[in-house]
Amino acid sequence: MKKALIGLALLAAASSASAATYVGGSIGTGLTVHLQNDLDAASAVRYGLNLDAVSLFRGGSLAVGGDVAYLNDIIGQDLGGLSPYYGLGLGAYVSLGSNNEISVYPNGILGLKFQVSDPLSVFVEGSAGPRVSIGGGQTGIGFGFGARIGLNYQLP
C-alpha cells in the first residue's frame, strides 16, 4: 500500500512538473491581462480579464469582461520558429455608457506564437464567432471578431 501511494505521489509530481504556468497580456481589439496553464505539452487553458476601449470610439461605451480559452498546438507544424495553434473561447462582457448591455462571445481562435527566450514568448491571434447581446430593451445576435498581439512569461 505504501509503495502504491509513493508511486501515485511521484506520478502526480511528475505530471505537475511538466505543466507550466504563464502570465501575460495583449493589446488589439481590447487590452487583456491573462493567466495560462498548460494541460500537457500541446494544450493549455487561458483565463483573461479584458477592457474593450474600441467601443468608446464606436458608440461611447466601455466594455469590461473576461474570457476563458482552450488552446491546442497544431502538432508537426513549425514555420521557421513560429508555432501555430487553434482554440475555442468564451467571453462575457458588460458594456457601460451610451450602450448598456451584456454580451456573450463564443469564438474560434487561430494564432501563432514565437519563443523569444526560455521564459518569454510572443503571440498574435485572431478570433471570430457569434456575439449575443442583451440590453436597452433589445436582444441581438451578430458577428464578433477580435485580433491581438501579446506576451507570455513563464513563471518559475
- CATH for 20-154 is 2.40.160.20
Q: Model-level pTM?
A: 0.81
Pick the closest to residue 50 from 40, 63, 59, 38 (CA basis): 63
Let me know: does 86 contact 77? Beta carbons within 8 Å. no
Q: Is 137 left (phi over 0), alpha (psi -120 to 50) or beta?
A: left
Q: Would you write out the chain's pLDDT as a tens digit for each of its 156 residues?
A: 444 434 434 444 444 445 899 999 999 988 999 999 999 999 999 999 998 866 666 567 788 999 999 999 998 877 888 999 999 999 999 988 777 889 999 999 999 999 999 899 999 999 999 999 998 778 899 998 999 999 999 999
What is the residue extent of each domain of the chain? 20-154
Let me know: does 65 contact 50? Beta carbons within 8 Å. yes
